[in-house]
Structure 1
C-alpha cells in the first residue's frame, strides 16, 4: 500500500506543540473512497500517531490498496473542523476540543484514548512562591482560556485551596500564551506560575528558568483523564464501522509499540517533531516528558464527564454538559 505524507509547515514550534493552541490550518485531505487521512499534533502525548505513521500500522490494518495520508494540526479547533467536514477520517486530539464540539452539536465520538497525564504546574525561579497561598496576587499562564490545562489548574486551586482567578473575581491574574514561550516569560518575570503541557515543563526545567510546583499526578483530573483521545465522526462510524475498527486496531497496535519500545518511540517522536516543525527537542526533555505520561488506548468516560463538570463549575460552560454518547468503547473492546 502507498503512504502519502502531507506536511503542514508552521513558522514556529510554539503554536503547533501547544495542546490548546490558537492558530489553525492543515494540509489537504483525502476525499477518496480508497484513501484515508489521519490527523494528529506533533505533541509528545500524540506519540502513538507518530509511531503509527513511521511503522505503517494503518497500512497493516486497512484493506490492500488504501492510500494513507497524514495531516498535522496546530490546534484542536482546526482538527475538529476537519473531522466534522470529512477532511480527515480520524485521529488524535485533546479531550477539550472534542467535548466542546460535542456539546455544540457535533456528531463525533471518542473511540479510544491516546495518553493520560502530561500537565505540570511550574513556578518561576525568584517568584517568592513556597505554597499555594503564595500564588494569591501572582500571575499564571495557560495556553488558552478554558483549555484542558487551564481547567486542570483552576479546578485544583479552587477545590483544594479555595483560590480562584480574576475571571471569577479571585486573587490570581490569568494570562494566556503559547507554551514554548513560557521559559522566556519566566526569565523576564512576566509570569509567575504556568499550567504547562509537556514537553514544555521538561524544557523549562532544562533551561533552568523554573521548577515544578505540582507534579502531574497532583494536578486535577491528570491521573486518569485522557490528555489526548482518538476521535472520529459518528456519521462515518454508522456508514463504515469496519473502517473505524481498522483505525482503532492500528492505534492500539501503535500504543502497544510505544509501551513496549519506549526508546525507539522517543527517537521517532524527536525525529517526527523536527521533520514537521524544523526544531529538535533534546533527548533529556523527551525523557522527562515521557515519565509524566501514560500511553493508553483505554478511555474513562466517567473521568471525561467529571472534567466537563469542572469546566461548568468554573463557568467556562454556560450549561452543565451531558456527554452521554460522546465516548464509544466498542472498538477498543474488540
Structure 2
C-alpha cells in the first residue's frame, strides 16, 4: 500500500496555509464591477456532478453567461477544488459539503459561499466479500477520495458510531487511505484494500468490476434518504464583484437541473459521454444504470444535512468548532427559482451572520458522530 496518509498530510499543508491568509484577501475586494470577462468553474468527473456535466454539454451555462467566457477544471475531490478557489485558480466549484464547511470555518467566514445544491445521494461503503458487519472492519484498509472530503468524513462518523477509532494520520482501529478514485479501483482489484467509501460511479464500478459489495448505502442513514452530496460554491470575492455573472451561472444551473429531471434517459447518456470525454472512457451500461439510480439531482442544498456533516467533521478532528451562520447565500438562487415558478429553498437558518448562532444538530436519524 502506498504511503497515502503521509502524502495526504503533506498535501494538506499548503491548503491550511492558504486558508490562514485567505480571510484578509477576500475582505479586501472591491464592490460590483459588472459581468466578469471570464468564469472559471471546477467540477468532478462523477455521476454526482450530473448538473455541471449536462450544463456544459448542453450549453445551459454558455447561453446564460453571454459574453462571459466559461472555462472549467476537473478535480478528483473537494479539498483540491477549494484549494484552487483560495489560490485564485477557479471562481466557483461543485463540491461536497465538508470541503465547503472547512473553507468557510478556517477563513473565518470570508472565503466562500454556498449558492445552490446539486445532488443528493450517490455514496456508499463497498467492501470485499466476507465482510458483513462493522466489527469485521477492525484492522481493515479503507480508501476515501481525499482526507477531509465528504466521503472521508461520512466514513469516520459511521465507524465512530460502531466503536471503531480512526485518526487523521491513518492510525486507529481502521486504516483510512485517502486515494484517488481510479487508484482505489485498481488497488481493490489487486486485493490491497478491503473497502472504500466513494461516490458514484465508483461505488458501482467497484461492485461490477472488482467484485465488491455494498455494506452501507449512505441514503439509508438519513431521513427520507436525502443528504447533500454536491453543492455549488463561489468565491466570496467573485460573488461581490460580479453578481450578474453569478446570477447567470445560477440560471444555467437551474436550467440544467430541470432538463435532467425532465429527460432522465437522455441526461444519463449526456453524462456518460461527458465522463468519457473527461475521464478517458464512458461507463459500461450496467455501471451507469446502477450509479444513476442512486443519485437525485436537486437545486436544494439540503442545509440541515450540511450542518450534521460539519458536526461529524468536528468530531473526527478535521474541523474546528463551527459557527456556520452566513455560509449560504441563497437569495440569487431563490430569485431564479421564483422566476421559473418554482418554490424557494431553505438555508436552515445559516444564511445570515447577524442572527444568533445556529447550533449544529445531532443526526436526525439518530446517527451520532
**Alignment correspondent of 1:332:** 333
Secondary structure, aligned partner of 2:67: coil
Question: In the TM superposition, what is the alpha-carbon distance from 1:322 to its structure 2 partner?
Answer: 1.5
Aligned mates of 2:273, 2:316 — CA distance in 1:
39
Distance, in Å, in 1 between the alignment partners of 2:308 and 2:202 is 26
Q: Deviations over 1:13-62 (max 9, x none)?
A: xxxxxxxxx799xxxxxxx9433333322221111111111111123323
Report what 1:35 is aligned to. Answer: 38
**Larger CA deviation: 302-311 vs 215-224:** 215-224
Per-residue displacement from partner, 1:215-266 (whole Å, max 9, x unpaired)? 2313579943321111112222223323222211110110111111111112
Aligned to 2:260: 258
Structure 1's 42 and 141: CA in aligned 2 closer, same or farther, altered over 3 A? closer
In 2, Cα distance between equivalents of 1:73 and 1:186: 22
| Aligned partner of residue 332 in structure 1, secondary structure | helix
Q: Does the alignment pair 1:117 with 2:118?
A: no
How far apart are the structure 1 equivalents of 2:324 and 2:212? 37
Q: When the two structures are superposed, what TM-score results if normalisation uses the length of structure 1?
A: 0.81
Displacement after TM superposition at 1:297 (Å): 1.1
From 154, 157, 160, give the equivalent of 2:159: 157
Q: Could you tell me which residue of structure 1 aligns to residue 145 of structure 2?
A: 143
1:44 paired with 2:30, answer no
Deviation track 1:98-142 (CA, whole Å, cap 9, x = no partner) reads: 2222112142111001101111011102xx322122222322222
Say yes or no: does 1:71 pair with 2:73: yes
8 Å Cα contact 1:152/1:219 also seen in 2: no
Unaligned runs of 5+ in 2: 1-10, 15-34, 336-369
SS at the partner of 2:131?
A: coil
Residues 83-110 of structure 1 show CA distances to partners (whole Å, capped at 9, x for unaligned) of 3455433231222222222112142111
Gaps in structure 1 of 5+ consecutive residues = 1-21, 25-31
Question: Is the alpha carbon distance of 1:78 and 1:173 closer, same or farther for their aligned partners in structure 2, counting shifts above 3 Å?
Answer: closer
Match of 1:8? Answer: none
Q: Where does residue 56 of structure 2 map in the other structure? A: 53
Q: Does the residue aligned with 2:332 lie in a helix, a strand or coil?
A: coil
Q: What CA distance in whole angstroms lies between the structure 2 residues aligned with 1:118 and 1:182?
A: 17
Number of equivalenced pairs: 301
The residue number in structure 2 matching 1:206 is 208
Give the match for residue 132 of structure 1: 134
* In structure 2, distance between residues paired with 1:55 and 1:74: 23
CA deviations over 1:166-219 (Å, ceiling 9, x no partner):
669742232332222334333333222221221111111212521111123135
How many Å separate the matches in 1 of 2:224 and 2:73?
27
Q: Which residue of 2 aligns with 1:11?
A: none
Q: Decide which moves more: 85-94 or 299-308.
A: 85-94
Correspondence list, 1:1-334, <5 A: 33-62=36-65, 64-84=66-86, 86-105=88-107, 106-125=110-129, 128-159=130-161, 161-165=162-166, 170-219=172-221, 223-317=225-319, 319-334=320-335
Distance 2:103 2:123 in 1: 22
Compute the TM-score of the two structures, normalised by the length of structure 2. Answer: 0.74
Local SS of the residue matching 1:120: strand
Contact (CA 8 Å) 2:98, 2:153: kept in 1 or not? Answer: no
What's 2:353 paired with? none
8 Å CA contact 1:152–1:221 kept in 2: the answer is no
- RMSD between superposed Cα atoms in Å: 2.6
Question: Please, which moves more after superposition, 275-284 or 293-302?
Answer: 275-284
Contact 2:120/2:226, CA 8 A, preserved across alignment: yes
